[in-house]
Chain A
């Protein structure tokens, strides 16, 4: 790769690549993200590659492996341009037909098309799929346009234009003013106004400053950052560079959690290619700006998503947070002014510089501008990454985009914001999704995780799950979090196992309030949120567990037992064989029975039985 010495050379290269791409007749785009790799997309990519060569089409057809498109449950998936055909659930065996029918003759292969779960009809093009069309894919739309391992693809798609514009004509102060007037707020969970953060850091009289990208997406159920980093790492790097210019920083860090090996690989490669091309390093593209990026891997700790813990981890120490009475913009990494922002926050910066703050602020609500990517998962028909303008109604996200309930059971609630957030009952779905509204309702935008629950989820069990998670991930330094969360878990476990009392519920409330206000860091401060929000909206479930010793959703093991229904059991013996505790007895072709003394209520027999003959009572 040749090093570029000046901005004009970047433009020349851009024009050259675009012209080259223009000669291609047809492009086959296959998603190579982690989700699709789990469904074996690599064998599909390999097969299609071989077929294209075999059928002599390698000069007219371009095969592009991209990062995650966000519609993971349909993977492995493919988009064929110029017709925009969308094929899903692919296997390597489909390659031959795709190449011969669609690529050679432009004919669509019906059986590979997406079936709309609501209408049952097949849909031809990607643009017509309701999951995609109901979104506002401002950031995610680039994912299918480029191969994350090719910096040239990024440049052809308009990459580093914002950087060039900044370095050739926008002063650092002007950049900060632009970000301020755009109304961009942190996308990692805190929602702090980004422009204000940058301005505070810039005002500190210190030569050594840092920019950090927080890619330690620890919220279980959230994978927006993974998607952006895997699919478009240069976008994040460009955002960081503009931020570093505004701040006066020469060094940046991307802290990626270790559980995202593909994201680590793509960011490292992007940094390497940018260095080779002269976009990172000394005197970038002929300017006076010097900047470089280092990629650090997380060690497997949710608490390292907290900014002071992350910085401690970057310094090679244990990830224990420190009190934030002095903000990290004044004393952060190595006690120097540091701007730490989330992946999605950085990814929004280039387009704000290119299109102006007014453009960004034209979408969204008064207090929350722009778009946000959410990870919609759980018991909905269409799971995946959803990018919408702030202010979109929650009901539309879950029922229109999500397609409503998955298993026929009614939707009961949605957990927004991960373990730091709260749940919202279905009766409260008629709200616009933005920072302030969610906060007022006792929930939180958080990083963007949205897990949908149906009648089969017990809210007490959910509170127990989150408390266990937080107890596991707590660093353990301060008493309210280390001991308080543990005691909250003890009480909720008592309630879930039928030993709860009314006094315990009021004690739980008081303890939750204490932990929320006295903990040292945000992990402890937000730890009581799942408990407080479930108690607020689902008090009846808590009451049933305490007063009637009953679990309405049929989940809490001590309060349920399994029964084999005599009128449905065929005596096939599948349950007997699959029980890991040998609790089922019965002769072939006769009704089986579960020994309650041995049964551990693991639920394996229920999922294995093909006749729905086992009921939870």
Chain B
């Protein structure tokens, strides 16, 4: 097996050739927060939570680590002030869209969101694409897909009706972050808030940001790292 060695946050990391930077980091216990990434499925770079700085020739470029293939000699920084600010802003946008999910609330708090400066909305889907990818890549049923563009983009069956070729596997519901309700129960429309109560352990241990502490973050996502 061919390997490449790259530097992440100052530490040399060796990983199989063809791995993504995100996979390499997670293998080595450097926890880059992520949302739409699922270990067995193709990465699309949709949520932009896993962003890192890729330093080349003195210039650093912000890019998603799940779609960035690890190359020999790469220099990656996962937790600069700029990255923390951007990650926090993106998580803030997400929790303002869909506060009614423990998993989304947890991501937001994990990324350092203390207050939400946008009016809350109450969407049922944050378009992470897990359901679509399970259906298309794992089960090859092609019963779910992203339909429409921009604000009207949604996950839908063909003609908005469950087709007869749907295999009834249940993956779409099982892996959906929205299916994990907040511990205080679903929030009523107009009364949404950033609860911040069910936060992951990493936030209470400030010195440990970036290291995996087997956080509760994994519970909503079937994060398989804590099983290693």
> Knowing A476-B127, A476-B153 touch, does A518 contact B51 (C-beta < 8 A)?
yes
Residues of B within 8 A of A318 (CB): 146
A323 x B62 contact (CB < 8 A): no
> Knowing A323-B63, A479-B46, A483-B93 touch, does A514 contact B86 (C-beta < 8 A)?
yes
Q: Which residue of B lies closest to A481 (CB)?
A: B150
A479 x B62 contact (CB < 8 A): no
B150 x A517 contact (CB < 8 A): no
Q: Which residue of A lies closest to B67 (CB)?
A: A323
B94 x A518 contact (CB < 8 A): no
A518 x B150 contact (CB < 8 A): no
A479 x B86 contact (CB < 8 A): no
Cβ of B148 within 8 Å of any chain A Cβ, yes or no, is yes
Q: Which residue of B lies closest to A519 (CB)?
A: B48
A residues 207-251 touching B (CB-CB < 8 Å): none
Residues of A within 8 A of B82 (CB): 517
Cβ of A430 within 8 Å of any chain B Cβ, yes or no, is no
Cβ of A352 within 8 Å of any chain B Cβ, yes or no, is no
> Knowing A323-B63, A325-B69, A520-B48 touch, does A301 contact B149 (C-beta < 8 A)?
yes
Residues of A within 8 A of B93 (CB): 479-480, 483-484, 487
CB distance from A521 to the nearest CB of B (A): 10
Residues of A within 8 A of B62 (CB): 517-518
Size of chain A's interface in residues, with CB distance under 8 A? 32
A residues 315-353 touching B (CB-CB < 8 Å): 318, 322-323, 325-326
Cβ of B166 within 8 Å of any chain A Cβ, yes or no, is no
> Knowing A520-B45, A520-B48 touch, does A476 contact B151 (C-beta < 8 A)?
yes
Binary per-residue interface labels of chain B (47-64) against chain A in the complex, 1 for a CB within 8 Å, 0 otherwise: 111010000000000111
Q: Which residue of A lies closest to B93 (CB)?
A: A483
Cβ of B44 within 8 Å of any chain A Cβ, yes or no, is yes
**Residue among B69, B96, B117 with most chain A CB within 10 A:** B117
CB distance from A218 to the nearest CB of B (A): 13
Residues of B within 8 A of A487 (CB): 93, 96, 118
CB distance from A609 to the nearest CB of B (A): 37
Binary per-residue interface labels of chain A (290-317) against chain B in the complex, 1 for a CB within 8 Å, 0 otherwise: 0000000000010100000000000000
Binds B, one of A25-33, A100-108, A466-474: A466-474
Cβ of A262 within 8 Å of any chain B Cβ, yes or no, is no
Q: Which residue of A lies closest to B63 (CB)?
A: A325
22 contacts between A and B (CB under 8 A): A323-B45, A323-B67, A325-B69, A471-B151, A474-B151, A475-B150, A475-B153, A476-B149, A476-B150, A477-B44, A478-B45, A479-B90, A480-B48, A480-B90, A483-B93, A484-B93, A487-B96, A510-B89, A517-B82, A518-B48, A519-B48, A520-B45
Per CB-CB distance, the 3 closest pairs between chain A and chain B, nearest first, are: A476-B153, A474-B150, A514-B89
Residues on A lying within 8 angstroms of B by beta carbon are 301, 303, 318, 322-323, 325-326, 471-480, 482-484, 486-487, 490, 503, 507, 510-511, 514, 517-520
Contacts A476-B127, A480-B48 aside, 20 further interface pairs with beta carbons under 8 A come to A301-B149, A325-B63, A325-B67, A325-B68, A471-B151, A472-B150, A473-B149, A474-B150, A475-B153, A476-B146, A476-B148, A476-B149, A477-B46, A478-B47, A479-B49, A479-B94, A486-B151, A514-B89, A520-B46, A520-B64
